[in-house]
């Protein structure tokens, strides 16, 4: 448990989680491991949950410091040793602190996933990328005999 506690120390320059190639993934995997330990060993449950709380605070601080959306997207889609993207780790372990609703980067990433890559390039024009406009004003394809 000492090693996990050392990850939450205030000395960020030497924090091994933040020195990794993808600190967000390191935090997610550590939280996942701590949840597993807490569930397996009741004796360590309170310690694990305290460390998880501190790690999630560290993760939200780290995410708030990221300004480049391309780098943020790269971090979120980076895969771990079991081929799970960080976004899936966040969802599966239920870590909403690592994708806050007020964060524009997280919102843009969700829009990009939901509507496609070109949706974030919309200039605000109704005719630009409006799916509703397309459905309302385009002629439907007439079925042929081969359909």
Q: Could you report the per-residue pLDDT of 106-129, keeping only the tens digit for each?
A: 888 888 877 766 555 555 555 555
DSSP state of 141: P
Distances (CA, A) of 103 to 70, 72, 94, 100, 133: 15, 11, 17, 5, 29
Sign of CA dihedral 121, 124, 125, 131: positive
CA angle 130, 134, 138 (to 5 degrees): 165
Q: Could you report the per-residue pLDDT of 22-81, keeping only the tens digit for each?
A: 889 989 999 999 999 999 988 988 898 999 998 898 888 888 888 888 899 998 999 988
Q: Per-residue confidence at 13, pLDDT binned at 50, 70, 90?
A: low
- Give me the mean pLDDT over the 83-101 stretch: 88
């Amino acid at each position: 448990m000492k090693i996990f506690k050392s990850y939450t120390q205030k000395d960020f320059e030497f924090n091994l989680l933040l020195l990794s190639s993808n600190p967000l993934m390191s935090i997610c995997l550590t939280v996942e491991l701590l949840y597993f330990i807490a569930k397996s060993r009741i004796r360590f449950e309170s310690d694990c949950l305290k460390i998880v709380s501190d790690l999630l605070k560290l993760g939200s601080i780290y995410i708030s410091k990221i300004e480049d959306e391309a780098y943020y997207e790269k971090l979120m889609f980076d895969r771990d040793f079991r081929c799970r993207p960080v976004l899936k780790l966040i969802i599966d372990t239920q870590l909403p602190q690592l994708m806050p609703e007020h964060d524009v980067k997280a919102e843009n990433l969700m829009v990009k996933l939901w509507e496609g890559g070109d949706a974030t390039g919309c200039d605000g024009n109704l005719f630009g990328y409006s799916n509703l406009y397309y459905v309302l004003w385009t002629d439907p394809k007439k079925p042929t005999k081969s359909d």
